[in-house]
Amino acid sequence: MKFIKLLSLFFFLLVTGRIAAQDVKHTFALSDTAFLLDGKPFQIISGEMHYTRVPREAWRQRMKMAKAMGLNTIGTYVFWNVHEPQKGHYDFSGNHDVAEFVKIAKEEGLWVILRPSPYVCAEWEFGGYPYWLEKEEGLQVRSKEPKYLEAYHKYIMEVGKQLAPLQVNHGGNVLMVQIENEYGSYGADKDYLALNRKMFIEAGFDGQLYTCDPEAAIKDGHLPGLLPAINGVDNVAKVKKLIGENHGGKGPYFIAEWYPAWFDWWGTAHHTVPAEKYVAPLDSVLSAGLSINMYMFHGGTTRGFMNGANFNDQNPYEPQISSYDYDAPLDEAGNATDKYMKFREVIKKHLPAGVTLPEVPAAKPAEAIPAIRFTQTFGLFDHLPKAALHAAPQTFEDLNQAYGFALYRTSVTGGKTAMLKIDGLRDYGIIYLNGKRVGILDRRLKQDSLQITLPKGKVKLEILVENLGRINFGPYLLKNKKGITGKVTLNGTEVKNWYSYGLPLNTLNLAGKGVEISGGKPVIKKAVFSLKKPVDTYLDLSKWGKGTVWLNGHNLGRYWNVGPQQTVYAPVEWFKAGNNEIEVLELIKTDQNVLPSLAKPVLSELQK
């Protein structure tokens, strides 16, 4: 009996000890020169990695890779538009379970820097804002406008429920929380920044808050009383000067975004930067005791329709590609690159005494799987929802639709050649007459007009419009409506009476045996194929035209033969041993029926 009591006591102490260990509250504070973790100087060596861009099943593997490179912290944005896709409807499940992402980081021995500002930029659709903000009359993002603040407040309260308990001062691993994001590049309203801080604290973020801005914007984007951080600068003297000037002449000194490379957009050369260019700056920054967050350590993939775009008065519209490889230390599939290994050698020189790095995990195998042959073809226009008749084309926002496509259909009198003009095409329009493709208009190329020949009689005019990504940076954030946002004219006369069909393609409801398609109308190809063992692979779409790929229900992202991306990464985690299902939406080269794959990605090939 005595033995049983002692055994029970042992298990009680073991369990309560584990619980206590999980709830240990740390302190995280600032000295004049360094961060203090539990009262001791702590140098943050962080890498940015976004939960939305990595399959949930692979979060832990990527974090092990971070640990092996020498990182002690992971940085991530929190994306409003994935967590509140429709007003008042919240989603923190599956790949959007940011709290689980943070908890896994803790289990892997990593701290977290959290960036839950409603605006993130991040080469992400609308800079992270949900599309429905565009529907609110008079709403002004990044301002004190009441409708914006009301929507922002409701959202950040929900984020706080998920993440505030995970702060270091509550027993979690979140060291710091960023308010706003490079606000100085957009505005200079300190009252607005103060409202951000107030709402964050109300949401439960009662630990260390900070702001981040590039060199030219730090003065406008910093809120007195918070730690200012700098983006895009790694000259030690300049970092200390810029932060000190905005923080009472003191630190600590944190480079919140240190760029080891850059992102890509459609039709422009792939961006790569040799590791050698960054080895010496990284060494000097760490030698000086500065803290750092690499943007990106691991980019991953911007799947679905979530890529953003850049646009301003000087540059054309530039939608970003689906691959977010970023030429980062960890490649799109989560494997170590030459840059990773060289950075690891630098970081090893600056580890605390007695700390050693784990071995770098072996690269995951990637293979070219047997070519997939499609056996079913479905017409996109054969699966349309109901549509009401309106005088003018309805925008995506009118249709309560965030992403994807919209089809506009009307009839006109033929028997003539006419100039078709679309005011406010957002962003890519394919024109059909009586079911036959007759032309394409591309916002990237500043195209809005096309001469067409209308056959005699009544002619069915259709325009399929794709949202290629809302602008994510700069002054045009609130000019982000999608679809046909103005009027359509033929020889200067407005065309009226349009049916507008929303095609968000959140799911593909393909029924029947499929059909034979002619005239170049868009198609969805479907196949079932078998794999003995799942592996990473890269679907080779270089001979296809433009579209989107789904694997076992997962939207893998867009492809477009203009490049530079010619392959689509298909992660091992989303394959199955046995039968797998694939669908491809093809807009241009609708006769393609074979999809090969490669063991390596092609991210640097442009086509005309």
CATH 2.60.120.260 domain extents, the chain = 384-503, 509-598
Q: Are strands 111-115 and 174-178 parallel, antiparallel or unpaired?
A: parallel
CATH class held by domain 384-503: mainly beta
The average confidence (pLDDT) of the chain is: 95
pLDDT of residue 277: 96
Q: Which two tokens stand for residue 430?
A: 């394919």
Report pLDDT digits (tens) over 358-375: 999 999 999 999 999 999
What are the residue numbers of the active site? 182, 257
Tell me the C-alpha distance between 498 and 29, whole Å.
60
Tell me the C-alpha distance between 195 and 464, whole Å.
42
Closest CA to 293 of 31, 71, 554, 441: 71
Tell me the C-alpha distance between 468 and 159, whole Å.
28
Of the chain, the percentage scoring pLDDT greater than 90 comes to 91
The CATH architecture to which 2-348 belongs is Alpha-Beta Barrel (3.20)
Give residue 307's identity as a one-letter amino acid code: N
CATH 3.20.20.80 domain extents, the chain = 2-348
Tell me the C-alpha distance between 468 and 438, whole Å.
21
Q: Is the pLDDT of residue 3 over 80?
A: no
pLDDT of residue 197: 98
pTM of the entire structure? Answer: 0.95
Q: Is the pLDDT of residue 225 over 90?
A: yes
Higher pLDDT, 478 or 483: 483
Place of tokens 């296809």: 544
Report pLDDT digits (tens) over 137-179: 999 999 999 999 999 999 999 999 999 999 999 999 999 999 9
The pLDDT-based confidence of 20 (bands split at 50, 70, 90) is very low
Say if residues 125 and 305 touch (Cβ distance below 8 Å): yes
319 DSSP assignment:
E
Q: How many residues does the chain have?
A: 608
Sort 268 into a burial class: Cβ within 10 Å, 0-12 / 13-18 / 19+: middle
Report pLDDT digits (tens) over 432-445: 999 999 999 999 99
The pLDDT-based confidence of 348 (bands split at 50, 70, 90) is very high
Contacts of 604 (CB under 8 A, 6+ apart): 269, 270, 272, 563, 564
266 DSSP assignment:
T
| CATH homologous superfamily, domain 509-598 | Galactose-binding domain-like (2.60.120.260)
CA count, 13 A, side-chain hemisphere, 461: 26
Q: Which two tokens stand for residue 504?
A: 């968000």
The pLDDT-based confidence of 298 (bands split at 50, 70, 90) is very high
The pLDDT-based confidence of 314 (bands split at 50, 70, 90) is confident
Look at residue 160 and give its three-state secondary structure: helix
Question: How would DSSP label each residue in 404-457?
Answer: SEEEEEEEEE-SEEEEEEETTEESEEEEEETTEEEEEEEGGGT--EEEEEEPSS
Say if residues 443 and 394 touch (Cβ distance below 8 Å): no
Q: Is the pLDDT of residue 602 over 90?
A: yes
Q: Which two tokens stand for residue 287?
A: 């030698």
Q: Is the pLDDT of residue 492 over 50?
A: yes
Tell me the C-alpha distance between 506 and 404, whole Å.
8
